Structure 1
Amino acid sequence: MSSGPETYDAKPFDAHVVDETNKPELASSEIYIDPAAEKRLIRKLDWMLSPLMVLMFLVAYLDRSNIGNAAIAGMNDDLNLTGNRLNVAVTLFYVTYIAFEVPASLLLKKLRPSRLIPFFIISWSCVIIGAAFINNYASLIATRLLLGVFESGLFPCLTLYLSTFYQPAEQARRISYLFVASALSGAFGGLLAFGLTNLHGARGLAGWRWLFLVEGIISFVVGIMTLFLLPDNFETAWWLREDEKALMRIRNENAALYQGNSTNAETFDKSEVKLAFQDPKVWINSLCQFCANTCSFGFSTFLPTIIRGFGYSSVRTQLLTVPVYIWASVVYITVAFASDYLRKRAVFMVPMALTTAVGYSLMLGVSMTSTAILYFATFVTATGIYCVVGLNVTWIINSNAGYFKRATAIGLQQTIGNSAGIMAGQIYRIKSSDGRYVIGHAISLSMITTAAAGYFLMFTLLRRLNVKRENMSIEERVRQIDAGKKGDRHPDFRYTL
């Protein structure tokens, strides 16, 4: 490559080789990108991808968590859900959910996102529609198991899919949209539950049946939309011009310089899969996700039950869940933008986790007669839950380079993390509670504090690796490159802290 400027023929981006006197050795062959043009491109990606991603994730969470709204709307009585049957139904969803996450993420490229993701959505929509007509406990269990199968691949596939469009420093806020969608699904679900359960008796259907039926139909429509609107990658995106696709290629080439030149391999590489399973950082991150998800799943599924335990009526409870989720959404999207802007993860995650710990402490310690304070405590609890869960997903994407290592890491994190649903479904026992739910809150408190400690440990380990690579001699750097170290093992790779 010549030392002078090299013109790239994709106008108007005016790409050229970076002046090597102004850049570190790492970026000596990096192609310059006009910041204004890149900003326009990212804005276009956001307008075309984000609404669809949010819609998909919103209906996913709506359909998995509506069992909590249905439970207080008469489903428990109609299906004779005595004892811990509701808890078992909630738990079994996660048995099949966690079993298919790693395979789904590894198969995404081969089976094509534009086909696999709509297949998931349409399939679980049919299950939810069918759930509106079940008449016994066994049928409820069957629908929950099937729902877990079809919802399992959505989140790891979407996060992996977004990583092929956005660079590491751009990913937190985009993944935040997914978790904002999950929080808003709680608010939207509460409003839907309030409206639809009032249809009780219309056309001979109970209110909770209307809830399943209408939400299933909404999801089905979203699945059909996705089938036509979702591209496999930026090369097949019908809404990108050729010059914009050229800029996307340049962005990927530049990113490869910082990620060991193995960001988007087309051929399945089992060595990368093995590296993910051998990486202790992946396991630490995944265990932190398990702790945070215990809180997230328990809170999102049982929030209506928790608030009703404060002494509110069933109808009023449905409405009181809405402000909590809206607050959580606003906080999370603000934190995600700040996290991307500062390119920091742990500095936000540790304080957010400890804030949630304060919320659980309030719900455990405040008298049951102090209803207003207990309701306020749900806002404090919600403040950090979605932040830590979402930023930790972004963190594992940022910490693993090489397409199939990243795919395996995401799948493994989600498998371990979502197995928390098995426990979360059992810790909030309605029958044995006086409204305080001591066991559920106490376990959640211990889990979120453990997660905070884990995030700090991750920060310490990654910072140590970055410092070690910064101080690496030229000879050692060359030795490692000659030894074939790629991806995040490459000496030029730097971890986001």
Structure 2
Amino acid sequence: MEGVVNEKDSQMASSDSFIDPVAEKKLILKLDLMLSPMMILIFLVAYLDRSNIGNAAIAGMNEDLNLTGSRLNVAVTLFYVTYIAFEVPSSIMLKRLRPSRLIPFFIIGWSAVIIGAAFIQNYASLIATRLLLGAFESGLFPCLTLYLSTFYQPVEQARRVSYLFVASALSGAFGGLLAYGLTNLHGSKGLAGWRWLFLVEGIISIVVGIATIFLLPDNFETAWWLNEDEKALMRARHEKARLYQGISVTSDNLDKKEVRLAFRDPKVWLNSLCQFCANTCSFGFSTFLPVIIRGFGYSSIRTQLLTVPVYIWASVVYITVSFASDHFNRRAIFMVPMALITSCGYAVQLGVSMNSTAVLYFATFVTATGIYCVVGLNVTWIINSNAGYFKRATAIGLQQTIGNSAGIMAGQIYRLSSSDGRYVIGHSVSLTTISLAACGYSAMFLLLRQLNRKRENMSSDERQREIDAGNMGDRHPDFRYTL
């Protein structure tokens, strides 16, 4: 189980485990070159298969499956019912079930579902595929973020988690291009264009899943692309982080105490509620952007192409902000302004006449500017704010469960609410939730700053009492929260 090294031992260990900065820099570069492409590709196909229903909807699926009234919204919503159900168990069981087996299982499972969706004939079949898709995709994100936290130090994580969200943004751009090309195959081999979209994207995903079985290591000790010197350096990095934070590595056995601590931590709940607010915008935007842009008066084919620049812009902004966030080791000072910029985008879409097509299209860029930044950095923030493997695993799973339940609401709010093609309810709810998220990030910053100051002002006797009481992980008096 866990134990805390005393101050004398920490100093001795620190002097014995000197890390060559040049060798460490080369190691981090190697981790990035090997892990980042895999993480990006996995998350790209996940978001591609999740959000392609929006592209399919404007490519003839609505008519072929008779998706009248709110049927499309219901189909989008039901994905999140099963999606949120398995996130906490998946993240907790990742270590026991092995990343190299569990993650490929998820990918191959949902790929098979998407391929099957190419041949559905009615609304009931669409509902079944969306429920199955949600079940298989549920554990992917918490597992990937937890997996990355075992390779990278806290000050390195925002940039690496950002790659996942850049992948989700790029999936929108890539999905728009694919939709443009594949929907032009309408009628080829007797399949409608939207069926080709599901079929080809499903095949791409299943290839990625099979490759992951052979390429993804369980941990750095089993990474085939690390030599013995690099593995020794990885151990030294983990030891340095452990001693710096006053914590030790948790055993492989499930620590139920850490699980309970995560559920009782108000910081985890505050962070999760902020994630719910931000995800309401993220899910509504990524799923319904093609529908929103088509409402400006563009044709279906042109709409598919017009989504591409929006997602590319969002990717560039997010990768830039995440680099800055890691460089300064700060989260809130980037998240609050980004949330407010996105709120301005929604305000423009609500306030400008539908005749001002160019302004409305520009407003989608403003909206996209902050969405992926706040969602992604908040995930990094909860990783940084929870120490002890199973507390962190539970916190990530809980955050994603609460946050992703926003998909249930996001699937219902984007309904045509006026005769001029404006989505008033969807934009209004999104404006409200992103503004609430900004307030929540500010409250989180103030709370964590207060806790850091309290620990910095501890006397040696108070510090020792905390250690003697068995306060470990992020409760240890030497632990400092990232602000």
Q: Alignment partner for residue 49 of structure 2, among 39, 50, 63?
A: 63
Q: Structure 1, residues 4-24: CA drift from partner, whole Å, max 9, x if none?
A: xxxxxxxxxxxxxxxxxxx99
Tell me if 1:39 matches 2:11: no
Q: TM-score, normalised on structure 1?
A: 0.94
In the aligned structure 2, how far is the partner of 1:281 from the partner of 1:48? 33
CA contact (8 A) 2:173 2:311 kept: yes
Aligned to 1:7: none
Aligned-partner residue type, residue 90 of structure 1: V
CA contact (8 A) 1:26 1:492 kept: no
CA contact (8 A) 2:455 2:477 kept: yes
Aligned-partner residue type, residue 461 of structure 2: E
Structure 2 stretches lacking a partner, 5+ long:
1-6
Q: Which moves more between the two structures, 470-479 or 30-39?
A: 30-39
Q: Alignment partner for residue 379 of structure 1, among 347, 361, 365?
A: 365
In the aligned structure 2, how far is the partner of 1:432 from the partner of 1:105? 42
Tell me if 1:212 matches 2:207: no
Tell me if 1:413 matches 2:392: no
Aligned-partner residue type, residue 72 of structure 2: L
| Deviation for aligned residue 1:258 | 2.9
Aligned-partner residue type, residue 425 of structure 2: I
Tell me if 1:241 matches 2:227: yes
| Deviation for aligned residue 1:266 | 1.4
Aligned to 1:192: 178
Q: Alignment partner for residue 478 of structure 1, among 444, 464, 467?
A: 464
Tell me if 1:123 matches 2:109: yes
| Deviation for aligned residue 1:32 | 1.9
Q: Alignment partner for residue 388 of structure 2, among 391, 395, 402?
A: 402
| Deviation for aligned residue 1:435 | 1.6
Aligned-partner residue type, residue 285 of structure 2: F
| Deviation for aligned residue 1:430 | 3.6
In the aligned structure 1, how far is the partner of 2:305 from the partner of 2:84? 31
Aligned-partner residue type, residue 57 of structure 1: F
In the aligned structure 1, how far is the partner of 2:391 from the partner of 2:71? 39
Tell me if 1:29 matches 2:19: no
| Deviation for aligned residue 1:267 | 1.4
In the aligned structure 2, how far is the partner of 1:309 from the partner of 1:450? 27
Aligned to 1:304: 290
In the aligned structure 1, how far is the partner of 2:163 from the partner of 2:66? 38
Aligned to 1:368: 354
Aligned to 2:158: 172
SS of residue matched to 1:401 = coil
| Deviation for aligned residue 1:217 | 0.2
In the aligned structure 1, how far is the partner of 2:472 from the partner of 2:418? 54
Q: TM-score, normalised on structure 2?
A: 0.97
Q: Alignment partner for residue 99 of structure 1, among 85, 94, 97?
A: 85
CA contact (8 A) 1:263 1:487 kept: no
Aligned-partner residue type, residue 99 of structure 1: A
In the aligned structure 2, how far is the partner of 1:292 from the partner of 1:265? 34
CA contact (8 A) 1:259 1:486 kept: no
Q: Structure 1, residues 420-475: CA drift from partner, whole Å, max 9, x if none?
A: 00000000014766321000000000000000000000000000000000010000
CA contact (8 A) 2:417 2:423 kept: no
Aligned to 1:144: 130
Aligned to 2:3: none
- Equivalent residue runs for 1:248-267 within 5 Å: 248-267=234-253
In the aligned structure 1, how far is the partner of 2:419 from the partner of 2:194? 23
Tell me if 1:423 matches 2:406: no
Aligned-partner residue type, residue 276 of structure 1: A
| Deviation for aligned residue 1:482 | 0.6
In the aligned structure 1, how far is the partner of 2:462 from the partner of 2:478? 12
Q: Which moves more between the two structures, 425-434 or 119-128?
A: 425-434
In the aligned structure 1, how far is the partner of 2:25 from the partner of 2:407? 39
- Equivalent residue runs for 1:315-326 within 5 Å: 315-326=301-312
Q: Structure 1, residues 343-371: CA drift from partner, whole Å, max 9, x if none?
A: 00000000000000000000000111110
Q: Over aligned residue pairs, what C-alpha RMSD do you find?
A: 1.3
| Deviation for aligned residue 1:263 | 3.9
Q: Structure 1, residues 13-58: CA drift from partner, whole Å, max 9, x if none?
A: xxxxxxxxxx999756322211111000000000000000000000
Tell me if 1:134 matches 2:120: yes
Structure 1 runs of 4+ with >4 Å offset:
23-28
How many equivalent residue pairs? 475
Q: Alignment partner for residue 344 of structure 1, among 330, 335, 354?
A: 330
SS of residue matched to 1:29 = helix
CA contact (8 A) 1:191 1:322 kept: yes
CA contact (8 A) 2:46 2:137 kept: yes
Q: Structure 1, residues 268-307: CA drift from partner, whole Å, max 9, x if none?
A: 1000000000000000000000000000000000000000
CA contact (8 A) 1:285 1:392 kept: yes
In the aligned structure 1, how far is the partner of 2:274 from the partner of 2:378? 8
Aligned-partner residue type, residue 176 of structure 1: S
| Shift in CA distance, 94/433, structure 1 to aligned 2, threshold 3 Å | farther
Aligned to 2:445: 459
Aligned to 1:6: none
CA contact (8 A) 2:418 2:424 kept: no
| Shift in CA distance, 360/24, structure 1 to aligned 2, threshold 3 Å | farther
Aligned to 2:64: 78
In the aligned structure 1, how far is the partner of 2:371 from the partner of 2:8? 39
Q: Structure 1, residues 132-188: CA drift from partner, whole Å, max 9, x if none?
A: 000000000000000000000100000000000000000000000000000000000
SS of residue matched to 1:231 = coil
| Shift in CA distance, 59/351, structure 1 to aligned 2, threshold 3 Å | same
Aligned to 1:15: none
Q: Which moves more between the two structures, 264-273 or 112-121?
A: 264-273
User: Percent identity of the aligned residues?
Assistant: 82
| Shift in CA distance, 431/135, structure 1 to aligned 2, threshold 3 Å | farther
Aligned-partner residue type, residue 79 of structure 1: L
| Deviation for aligned residue 1:257 | 1.3
- Equivalent residue runs for 1:152-163 within 5 Å: 152-163=138-149
Structure 1 stretches lacking a partner, 5+ long:
1-22
Aligned to 2:4: none
CA contact (8 A) 1:94 1:148 kept: yes
Aligned-partner residue type, residue 66 of structure 2: N
Q: Which moves more between the two structures, 24-33 or 475-484?
A: 24-33
| Shift in CA distance, 349/263, structure 1 to aligned 2, threshold 3 Å | farther
CA contact (8 A) 1:359 1:380 kept: yes
| Shift in CA distance, 182/24, structure 1 to aligned 2, threshold 3 Å | farther
| Deviation for aligned residue 1:265 | 2.7
| Deviation for aligned residue 1:231 | 0.2
